[in-house]
């Protein structure tokens, strides 16, 4: 059964990392696991994640590097401080729900120095046995997606941008450098924003998945300071600069241009309309 869901797992990983992902099932009797790597790299040429049952209620997860990863390790050594900080933040987000160990280093200031680097995690399931498909998918979502996203950030997978798909209004004379668009449309930023703030709209409180079920994965990420209004590129902090909004509220804040309505202003309009 799990083999039929590999495409769903790979798609979730691709959305979170911004890279195509290869996934295969590892089986030993009833104890199923997964091996995951970046599709454009051979398993031996880059980071590989493994998921295995650990005891009766947990999964053990580890990420390490293949024996022929010199090229990728060289790319990682050139990662910017901003890339490193986002990668560390993604790993810290996992530590909220799983046990994390980076041998010889701390969760706050780790670095990938050589091919011996690894991250070990343990994720406990209180209600579903770890060999069940649902438990494996949950572990992928909560642990492997952000850990592989951290590796993608360090490797430097580019984000292909379509400016027409930007959530910001066009502003005559506004500056929108490609470097900023690549950074601010970065799926790893979106992933971290939703892991920090949750998938509930910060204006109206709607949780689309609770309302619409499987069809409800439509929460959007709003930049409190529009990318199009930046005079100089700057790093964004997903915790303070990005917030989740439902599509209606997101469209509503952008009815004011060039600067969108603040969340407080939109909340005020909503309150007035409710009292009318």
Q: Which residue has the tokens 């530590």?
A: 95
Mean of pLDDT values over 93-98: 93
CA atoms within 13 A on the CB side of 204: 18
pLDDT for 165 equals: 44
> Which whole number is the average pLDDT over 253-271?
92
| pLDDT score, position 5 | 81
Q: What pTM was estimated for this model as a whole?
A: 0.81
Q: Which pLDDT band holds residue 229 (cuts at 50, 70, 90)?
A: low
d(CA 195, CA 110): 21
Least confident among 101-105, 155-159, 264-268: 155-159
Statement: residue 47 has pLDDT above 80:
yes
**pLDDT in the model for residue 173:** 36
For the chain, domains (ranges, CATH) are 2-155 (no CATH), 163-275 (1.10.30)
Question: What is the reported pLDDT for 210?
Answer: 86
pLDDT tens digits, one per residue of 169-181: 333 333 334 444 4
Give residue 31's pLDDT.
Answer: 72
According to the model, what pLDDT value does residue 205 have?
94
Q: Which of 76-90, 100-114, 122-136, 156-170 has the lowest mean pLDDT?
A: 156-170
């Amino acid at each position: 059964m799990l083999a039929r869901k590999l495409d769903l797992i790979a798609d979730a990983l691709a959305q979170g990392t911004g890279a195509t992902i290869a996934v295969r099932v590892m089986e030993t009797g009833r104890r199923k696991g997964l091996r995951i790597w970046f599709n454009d790299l051979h398993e031996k040429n880059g980071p590989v994640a493994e998921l295995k049952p650990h005891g009766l209620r947990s999964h053990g997860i580890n990420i390490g590097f293949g024996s022929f990863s010199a090229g990728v390790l060289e790319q990682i050594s050139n990662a910017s401080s901003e890339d490193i900080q986002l990668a560390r933040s993604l790993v810290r987000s996992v530590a909220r729900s799983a046990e994390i160990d980076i041998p010889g280093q701390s969760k706050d200031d780790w670095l990938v120095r050589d091919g011996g680097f690894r991250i070990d995690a343990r994720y406990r399931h209180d209600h579903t046995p770890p060999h069940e498909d649902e438990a494996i998918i949950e572990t992928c979502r909560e642990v492997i997606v952000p850990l592989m996203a951290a590796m993608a950030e360090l490797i430097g997978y580019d984000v292909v941008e379509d400016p027409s798909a930007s959530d910001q209004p066009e502003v005559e004379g506004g500056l929108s450098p490609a470097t900023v668009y690549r950074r601010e449309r970065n799926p790893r930023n979106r992933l971290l924003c939703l892991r920090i703030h949750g998938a509930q709209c910060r204006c109206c409180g709607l949780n689309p998945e609770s309302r619409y079920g499987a069809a409800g994965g439509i929460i959007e990420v709003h930049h409190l300071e529009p990318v199009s209004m930046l005079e100089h590129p700057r790093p964004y902090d997903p915790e303070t600069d990005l917030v989740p909004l439902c599509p209606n509220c997101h469209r509503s804040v952008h009815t004011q241009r060039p600067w969108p309505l603040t969340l407080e202003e939109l909340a005020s309009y909503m309150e007035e309309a409710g009292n009318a």
